[in-house]
Amino acid sequence: MENGVRKDYLLDRWVIIAAERAKRPSDFKAKPSPRDMGKVCPFCPGNEEMTPPATLLYIEREGNLLEDRDLEMPRRSDWIVRCFPNRYPAVKPRAKEVIAAENKLLYRTRAYGFHEVVVESPIHNEQPSNMRLKQLKYSLMAQIERVSTFYRYPSVRYVQMFRNYRREAGASLSHPHSQIIATEHIPRILREEVESSNKYMEREGRCIFCDIIELEKEGPRLIYESGYFVALAPWASIQPFEFWILPKKHSASLLEITSEELEDFSKILKTCLRSLSEALGDPPYNYVFHIAPKYPRGVDEFYHWHLEVYPKLAVWAGFEIGTGMYINVVPPEATAESLKAEIEKYS
């Protein structure tokens, strides 16, 4: 029943669910990270001169949230969230124009965009799975504020918010942080998701994500439901313990989220990440926000924003590289069951 080859709800992406190779959660238990002892953390308060001046700072004064930014020197160290340009950016605001095609086979464009780091807490080991809810909300608020700023640049078409957790998932520093990359491209996965949701709308007259939520809410892949959100293990999960969080109310972009919704989102995010951490001994993961790209005609209203969480538990090897198909040894139904059980322990 659980085996077979499954297709993603939207993408032309296929996964072989190989449940007979199934592993128990204990087979995935992560090894504890080596402690970065003796090294100075450039993201800890007091070390701001090791990173570029902040483009946005949140400061708390007698219960009020204030905003500021750094001048070159001195830099503020009394922040609770700190955003600044990545020291080694993948894209740059002053990228030179390059000739689009030098040859019909060798195509390139300029690497224009913005690449920022968001330090999510002044506390070195406060990760979202154990973060104070107010802090988690502020960190998400700051990220949303930066994304909105980047979207106002005429050339920016898409802004990716993402989080790499632990070295195995690409984080070079352990201090809690996320990253934001704004580009003038609409990356392939976003383009395919948008095209797919448009086609579905034409055919069915409904939002595909709203239909996914309605279908999965009653089924074996539901992990958790809060006032405004659902967390589910997607039908064609490509990784063990993959899960998505989606707003129940149709909304194309995270940028329109209300304060109350963001508070609820912080809660469900923390709940799910904590259960993942409890189930597997704090594994590495990547999470990515998918929000509506910006088209010349504006944001696509048929899109429905969501967060995708990819624990890094399987190694993609020859088959995955050669085919773009995946093998997942943990059926999403089993993922949902394990994560649900962890959540129940705490409620």
The answer to whether 207 and 324 are in contact (CB under 8 A) is no
- Among residues 177, 290, 304, 306, which one is catalytic? 177
CB 83 within 8 Å of CB 115: no
Following DSSP, what letter does each residue of 195-252 receive, concatenated?
HHHHHHHHHHSS-HHHHHHHHHTTSTTEEEE-SSEEEE--TT-SSTT-EEEEESS--S
Smaller CB distance to Zn ion: residue 182 or 279? Answer: 182
Strand segments, DSSP code E, in 243-305 are 243-247, 285-290, 294-295, 298-299
Distance of alpha carbon 116 from alpha carbon 138, whole angstroms: 17
- Which range, of 1-9, 74-82, 96-104, 171-179, touches Zn ion by CB under 5 A? 171-179
Q: How far is 75 from 181, CA to CA, in rounded Å?
A: 24
Least spacing, CB of residue 97 vs Zn ion, in Å: 31
User: Would you say 110 or 250 has its CB closer to Zn ion?
Assistant: 250
Site residues for Zn ion, 38-67, by CB under 5 A, read 41, 43-44
* H/E element, 342: helix 332-346
CB of 177 to Zn ion, least distance (A): 9
Least distance from Zn ion to the Cβ atom of residue 250, Å: 4
Total interface residues for Zn ion by CB under 5 A: 11
Of residues 56 and 245, the one with the C-beta less far from Zn ion: 245
Does 206 engage in binding with Zn ion (CB under 5 A)? no
Among residue numbers 250 through 269, which ones bind Zn ion (CB under 5 A)? 250
Angle, vertex CA 67, rays to CA 62 and CA 71, nearest 5: 125
CA distance 127 to 283: 12
| 3-state helix, strand and coil shares in percent for the chain, rounded to the nearest 5 | 30, 25, 45
Exposed, middle or buried: residue 98 (CB in 10 Å: 0-12, 13-18, 19+)?
Answer: exposed
Helices (H) and strands (E) in the chain, counts: 6, 16
CA dist 166 and 174 (Å) reads 6
Structure-token match 């909105």, residue found: 148
- The yes or no reply on residue 207 touching Zn ion (CB under 5 A) is yes
Nearer to Zn ion, 44 or 91 (CB): 44
Whole-angstrom Cα distance, residue 334 to residue 4? Answer: 15
3-state secondary structure of 90: coil
- When binding is defined by CB under 5 A, the residue of 82, 163, 304, 312 that contacts Zn ion is 304
Out of 6, 137, 146, 290, the only residue in the binding site for Zn ion (CB under 5 A) is 290
Instruction: Using the rule CB under 5 A, give the single segment among 63-71, 91-99, 242-250, 332-340 that binds Zn ion.
Output: 242-250
Closest distance to Zn ion from the beta carbon of 207 (Å): 3
Q: Choose, by CB under 5 A, the member of 69, 124, 166, 248 that binds Zn ion.
A: 124
Question: Known catalytic residue: 177?
Answer: yes
Applying the rule CB under 5 A, the residues between 75 and 104 that interact with Zn ion are none
- Of the pair 211, 333, the CB lying nearest Zn ion is at 211
Closest CB 305 distance from Zn ion, rounded Å: 9
Q: Which stretch binds Zn ion (CB under 5 A): 84-92, 162-170, 270-278, 302-310?
A: 302-310
Shortest reach from residue 112's CB to Zn ion, in Å: 24
Residue 43 or 285 having the CB closest to Zn ion: 43
Binder among 137, 146, 157, 175 for Zn ion (CB under 5 A): 175
Compute and round to an integer the Cα radius of gyration of the chain.
Answer: 21
Identify which of residues 122 and 240 has a Cβ nearer to Zn ion in the complex. Answer: 122
The CB-of-174 to Zn ion minimum distance in angstroms stands at: 7
Verify binding: residue 294, Zn ion, rule CB under 5 A.
no
- Which residues make Cβ contacts (< 8 Å) with residue 128, sequence separation at least 6? 120, 136, 139, 163, 176, 269, 270, 273
Contact set with Zn ion (CB under 5 A):
41, 43-44, 124, 175, 207, 209-210, 250, 290, 304
Residues tagged active-site? 177
